[in-house]
Amino acid sequence: MVEKVCFSIILCLSACLTTILFPEVVYAARRCPHDKLVLNDPEKLFVFGDSYADTGNWPPTNASGSWREPFGMTFPGKPSGRWSDGRVLTDYIAEYLGLGSPQPYNLWKGDGEEKQYGMNFAYGGTGVFDYTNVDGPNMTTQINHLQQLLQQNAYAKHDLTSSVALVTSVGNDYRNYHGDILEFVESVTKQLSMNLKRIHEMGIPKVAITAMQPLGCLPFIAFATGSYPNCYEKTNDFTRLHNQMLKQRVDKLNEETDGSPFGIVDLYAAFTTALNIQNDQQPGKSSFPRRLKPCCYGKCGEVDDESGKKEYELCDDPKKAFFWDMAHPSQQGWFAVYSALKPSLPHLFHCEQATPIV
């Protein structure tokens, strides 16, 4: 997540959501009907979303943080457009599927071999809607890009029917929150539902979307609210509200669609497991010595134009930090999240043939 959620949102949420408490969401896996497509080994991965999935769609000429040192210092050893010191969620999901990480759309040169693992349309900082302060394609436009590739015959129908999709939505829209918070959450999750349905109707049999990570545990929110080294509970209440509404939308989609093709990648649970957050006030012992303290502290990647002095501090070992910067996990953080997610991935990205009733 490139952006910073406005501090004013936090104050508003503290007032209007204090009493809204939701239990941990359990995302049940469902099998595809035995008479439908059995997708055991997806051939391609198509990715839509934001910086948690972006592997290089921000243009290098933009001189954005993801293309500046020390980003990419762990993998691939230099800045690659990933918002981390190394691999991000897309890379680990692709590895799980036995695929290479899909080509970033903005770096694609039209080569057939480059698109063999699918395509990544995710663009850091974007959300489901357009905003004047966001310079990048929203999720609808990202899906349009795939539609254009189909129309140009860059991909055939079979390429989609033998593929899966990953969609990330980690809170960018909420920095532009205005009006009634419940109505805004409803509008965001409704649009996400429409996007998921459209992706599936294009031919992709399995579409997984991320639940929102515990926003109150992101370093910039924990620091801004004075909660550090703990998470900010009231913002996490809001996160659970979003996730509950998203689950309701996904459940409804599955009820209306043959094969229950939609699933939720539970980043909320995976983050709390990786950080060993038993509750916001009394966190358990984490395997990360720098639990909420980012490895790259300050304006990561920024250098003063006049003095040439770095405007950030860098830790000695990114492997000891769950967070790379004020909003994004490190490669080791993402690996811990992936490890927590791994048991749920077969149900999210594979169709299992049901046993016929005799």
Q: How many CB atoms are closer than 10 A to CB 237? A: 20
50 is catalytic: no
- The DSSP bridge partners found for residue 104 are 120
Judge whether 296 and 324 are in contact, CB under 8 Å: yes
200 is catalytic: no
**Would strands 206-210 and 163-167 be described as parallel, antiparallel, or unpaired?**
parallel
Cα separation, 139 vs 84, in Å, equals 21
State the amino acid at position 286 in one-letter form. Answer: S
Could you give the count of Cα atoms lying within 13 Å of 176 in the half-sphere of its Cβ? 15
Confidence grade of residue 10 (pLDDT, cut at 50, 70, 90): very low
State the pLDDT at residue 59: 84
CB-based burial, 5-28: b 16+ in 10 Å, e otherwise: beeebbeebbeebeeeeeeeeebe
Between 136 and 5, the higher pLDDT residue? 136
Cα separation, 118 vs 97, in Å, equals 12
51 is catalytic: yes
Between 22 and 320, the higher pLDDT residue? 320
Q: Classify 127 as helix, strand or coil.
A: coil
Which entry of 242, 328, 347, 350 is annotated as an active-site residue?
328
Cα separation, 356 vs 358, in Å, equals 6
Which entry of 54, 159, 237, 325 is annotated as an active-site residue?
325
Q: Which whole number is the average pLDDT over 225-232?
A: 91
Domains of the chain: 7-11+39-349 (3.40.50.1110)
DSSP code per residue over 47-105: EESSTTT-BS-S-GGGT-GGGSTTTTTTTTSS--SBSSSS--HHHHHHHHTT-PPPEEG
- pLDDT digit string (tens) for 320-351? 999 999 999 999 999 999 999 999 999 999 86
- pLDDT digit string (tens) for 274-291? 998 754 444 445 678 878
Which entry of 51, 66, 80, 227 is annotated as an active-site residue?
51
Could you give the count of Cα atoms lying within 13 Å of 15 in the half-sphere of its Cβ? 6
CA end-to-end distance (rounded Å), the chain: 50
State the pLDDT at residue 66: 93
